[in-house]
Chains A and B, each alone.
Chain A
Amino acid sequence: MDIMAPEKIKPPVNLSVLILFGLILLSLQLMSSAMQESSELSAMYSWLLLFNTLGSVVLLVLVGANIYALLQHTKRREAGSRLTARMMSLFVVLALAPAIIVFYFSMQFLHQGIDSWFNVEIDRAMEDALELSQASLDQRMRGQLRQTEQLIDQLEGFSENAATIEIEHLRELSGASEMTLFSKQGRIIASSSNNPADILPSLPEEHIWLQLRQNGFFMALAPVHEHELMVRVIVTVKSLESQYLQALYPVPVRIADLADSVEFASARYQEMSYLRNSLRMSFSLALSLVLLMSLLAAIWVAFISIRNITAPVKELVKGTKAVASGHYDQILPVMAQDDLGFLVESFNDMTNRIAQARDETRKVGVEVENQRAYLETILGNLTAGVISFDETFKIRTANQAAYRIFRVHVNQFVGKTLLELVETYVELVEPLKSIQHLLENADDIWQQRIAFLGPNGRQELLCRGTPLFSQEGFRVGSVVVFDDVTDLIQAQKNAAWGEVARRLAHEIKNPLTPIQLSAERLQLKLANKLDSSDGAILQRSILTIVQQVEAMKEMVDDFSEYAKPSKKQSLNVNISHLIQEVLALYTLREGVRFKARYQSGLQIVNGDPVSIRQVIHNLIKNSLEAVGLEGLIEINVHRVLKNNTDFIEIALYDNGAGIKEDQVEKIFEPYVTTKVKGTGLGLAIVKKIIEDHGGAIWVDNGRKVGAGFIIQLPACNSELS
Chain B
Amino acid sequence: MPLLRSRKRFCQLLLMIILGILSFLVSGAEFSAEIKQGDIAKRSDEYFLSVNIDYHLSEKAKTALQNGVPLYWNLLVKVKKSPDFFWDKTWLKVAKRYQLQYHALLNMYRVKNEDNGEVHSFSSLSSALELMSVIIDLPLINKALLDPEHQYLCLIKLDFKRDDLPLPLRPFAYIDPQWYLSSEWTSWPLKK
Residues of B within 8 A of A37 (CB): 166-167
A222-B121, A267-B104 known; A46+B168 contact, CB < 8 A: no
- Asked if B68 and A270 sit within 8 Å, CB to CB, the answer is yes
- Asked if A267 and B106 sit within 8 Å, CB to CB, the answer is no
Decide if B143 is an interface residue (CB 8 Å cutoff): no
Decide if A263 is an interface residue (CB 8 Å cutoff): yes
Decide if B144 is an interface residue (CB 8 Å cutoff): no
CB distance from B72 to the nearest CB of A (A): 12
Residues of B within 8 A of A43 (CB): 163
Contact of A278 (CB < 8 Å), options: B68, B162, B172, B174:
B172
CB contacts under 8 Å to B, within A204-223, are 207, 220-223
For the complex, count residues of B whose C-beta is within 8 A of A: 30
Q: Report the interface size class on chain A.
A: 35 or more
Contact of A271 (CB < 8 Å), options: B108, B123, B166:
B166
Residues of A within 8 A of B64 (CB): 274
- Asked if B104 and A270 sit within 8 Å, CB to CB, the answer is yes
- Asked if A273 and B67 sit within 8 Å, CB to CB, the answer is yes
- Asked if A274 and B67 sit within 8 Å, CB to CB, the answer is yes
- Asked if A271 and B163 sit within 8 Å, CB to CB, the answer is no
A268-B68, A278-B172 known; A133+B167 contact, CB < 8 A: no
Q: In the complex, A666→B32 CA distance in Å?
A: 134
Q: In the complex, A184→B123 CA distance in Å?
A: 24
Q: In the complex, A130→B105 CA distance in Å?
A: 6
Q: In the complex, A333→B20 CA distance in Å?
A: 51
Chain B 159-172 interface 0/1 with A at a Cβ cutoff of 8 Å (1 = within): 00011001111111
- Asked if A282 and B168 sit within 8 Å, CB to CB, the answer is yes
Contact of B67 (CB < 8 Å), options: A130, A134, A137, A271:
A271
CB contacts under 8 Å to A, within B81-117, are 103-108, 110
Chain A 32-69 interface 0/1 with B at a Cβ cutoff of 8 Å (1 = within): 00110100001101100100000000000000000010
Task: Say whether chain A's binding surface is mostly helix, strand, loop, or mixed.
Answer: helix
- Asked if B104 and A278 sit within 8 Å, CB to CB, the answer is no
CB distance from A45 to the nearest CB of B (A): 6
Contact of B170 (CB < 8 Å), options: A45, A222, A260, A274:
A45
Contact of A282 (CB < 8 Å), options: B106, B163, B167:
B167
CB contacts under 8 Å to B, within A231-285, are 259-260, 262-263, 266-268, 270-271, 273-275, 278-279, 281-283, 285
CB contacts under 8 Å to B, within A109-135, are 130, 133-134
- Asked if A278 and B168 sit within 8 Å, CB to CB, the answer is yes
CB distance from A459 to the nearest CB of B (A): 67
CB distance from B119 to the nearest CB of A (A): 6
A37-B166, A267-B104, A275-B169 known; A207+B127 contact, CB < 8 A: yes
Q: In the complex, A43→B105 CA distance in Å?
A: 29
Q: In the complex, A72→B103 CA distance in Å?
A: 63
Q: In the complex, A283→B162 CA distance in Å?
A: 18
- Asked if B105 and A133 sit within 8 Å, CB to CB, the answer is yes
CB distance from B68 to the nearest CB of A (A): 4
Contact of A46 (CB < 8 Å), options: B3, B68, B107, B171:
B171
- Asked if A285 and B104 sit within 8 Å, CB to CB, the answer is no
- Asked if B69 and A281 sit within 8 Å, CB to CB, the answer is no
Chain B 169-187 interface 0/1 with A at a Cβ cutoff of 8 Å (1 = within): 1111010000000000000
- Asked if B105 and A275 sit within 8 Å, CB to CB, the answer is no
Determine the residue in chain A with the shortest Cβ distance to B69: A271
Q: In the complex, A72→B6 CA distance in Å?
A: 12
CB distance from B178 to the nearest CB of A (A): 13
Residues of B within 8 A of A226 (CB): 119
Determine the residue in chain B with the shortest Cβ distance to A50: B174
Decide if B63 is an interface residue (CB 8 Å cutoff): yes
- Asked if B172 and A35 sit within 8 Å, CB to CB, the answer is no
Q: In the complex, A43→B72 CA distance in Å?
A: 14
Chain B 46-80 interface 0/1 with A at a Cβ cutoff of 8 Å (1 = within): 00000000000000000110011100000000000
Q: In the complex, A612→B69 CA distance in Å?
A: 136
- Asked if A46 and B170 sit within 8 Å, CB to CB, the answer is yes
- Asked if A223 and B68 sit within 8 Å, CB to CB, the answer is no
- Asked if B68 and A271 sit within 8 Å, CB to CB, the answer is yes
Contact of B103 (CB < 8 Å), options: A34, A45, A46, A263:
A263
Q: In the complex, A133→B107 CA distance in Å?
A: 12
Residues of A within 8 A of B105 (CB): 130, 133-134, 137, 259-260, 262-263, 266
Residues of B within 8 A of A68 (CB): 3, 6
Residues of B within 8 A of A223 (CB): 103, 106, 110, 119, 121
- Asked if A207 and B123 sit within 8 Å, CB to CB, the answer is yes
A223-B106, A270-B104 known; A279+B168 contact, CB < 8 A: yes
Residues of B within 8 A of A72 (CB): 2-3
Q: In the complex, A273→B110 CA distance in Å?
A: 21
CB distance from B100 to the nearest CB of A (A): 14
Chain A 19-43 interface 0/1 with B at a Cβ cutoff of 8 Å (1 = within): 0000000000000001101000011
Q: In the complex, A278→B119 CA distance in Å?
A: 30
Chain A 384-427 interface 0/1 with B at a Cβ cutoff of 8 Å (1 = within): 00000000000000000000000000000000000000000000
Residues of B within 8 A of A34 (CB): 167
Residues of B within 8 A of A130 (CB): 104-105
Interface centre among B2, B104, B174 (most CB of A within 10 A): B104
Determine the residue in chain B with the shortest Cβ distance to A278: B168
A46-B163, A46-B170, A281-B168 known; A274+B69 contact, CB < 8 A: yes
Q: In the complex, A281→B169 CA distance in Å?
A: 9
Q: In the complex, A267→B67 CA distance in Å?
A: 7
- Asked if B67 and A221 sit within 8 Å, CB to CB, the answer is no
Q: In the complex, A68→B103 CA distance in Å?
A: 57
Q: In the complex, A283→B168 CA distance in Å?
A: 8
Chain B 2-37 interface 0/1 with A at a Cβ cutoff of 8 Å (1 = within): 110010000000000000000000000000000000
Q: In the complex, A193→B162 CA distance in Å?
A: 43
Interface centre among A133, A221, A259 (most CB of B within 10 A): A221
A223-B119, A267-B68, A282-B171 known; A274+B63 contact, CB < 8 A: yes
Interface centre among A207, A223, A266, A285 (most CB of B within 10 A): A223
CB distance from B177 to the nearest CB of A (A): 16
Residues of A within 8 A of B167 (CB): 34-35, 37, 42, 45, 282
CB distance from A344 to the nearest CB of B (A): 31
CB contacts under 8 Å to A, within B104-141, are 104-108, 110, 119, 121-123, 127
Q: In the complex, A281→B105 CA distance in Å?
A: 30
- Asked if A46 and B174 sit within 8 Å, CB to CB, the answer is yes
CB distance from B146 to the nearest CB of A (A): 34
- Asked if A281 and B172 sit within 8 Å, CB to CB, the answer is yes
CB distance from A566 to the nearest CB of B (A): 81
Determine the residue in chain B with the shortest Cβ distance to A285: B171
CB distance from B78 to the nearest CB of A (A): 22
Residues of B within 8 A of A279 (CB): 168
CB distance from A130 to the nearest CB of B (A): 6
Q: In the complex, A68→B3 CA distance in Å?
A: 9
- Asked if B63 and A49 sit within 8 Å, CB to CB, the answer is no
- Asked if B127 and A270 sit within 8 Å, CB to CB, the answer is no
Determine the residue in chain A with the shortest Cβ distance to B64: A274
CB distance from B2 to the nearest CB of A (A): 8
Residues of A within 8 A of B69 (CB): 271, 274-275
Instruction: Write the residues of chain A forming the contact surface with B, with a CB cutoff of 8 angstroms.
Output: 34-35, 37, 42-43, 45-46, 49, 68, 72, 130, 133-134, 137, 207, 220-223, 226, 259-260, 262-263, 266-268, 270-271, 273-275, 278-279, 281-283, 285
Given A34-B167, A130-B105, 15 other A-B residues pairs in contact with their CB atoms under 8 A? A37-B167, A68-B3, A207-B123, A207-B127, A222-B121, A223-B106, A223-B110, A226-B119, A263-B105, A267-B68, A267-B103, A273-B67, A274-B63, A282-B168, A285-B171
A and B contact pairs by CB, cutoff 8 A, 12 listed? A34-B167, A42-B167, A46-B171, A72-B2, A72-B3, A207-B122, A221-B106, A222-B121, A223-B121, A263-B103, A270-B104, A278-B166
Pick the 9 closest A-B CB pairs, nearest first.
A274-B67, A263-B105, A267-B68, A278-B168, A282-B168, A271-B68, A279-B168, A275-B168, A270-B68
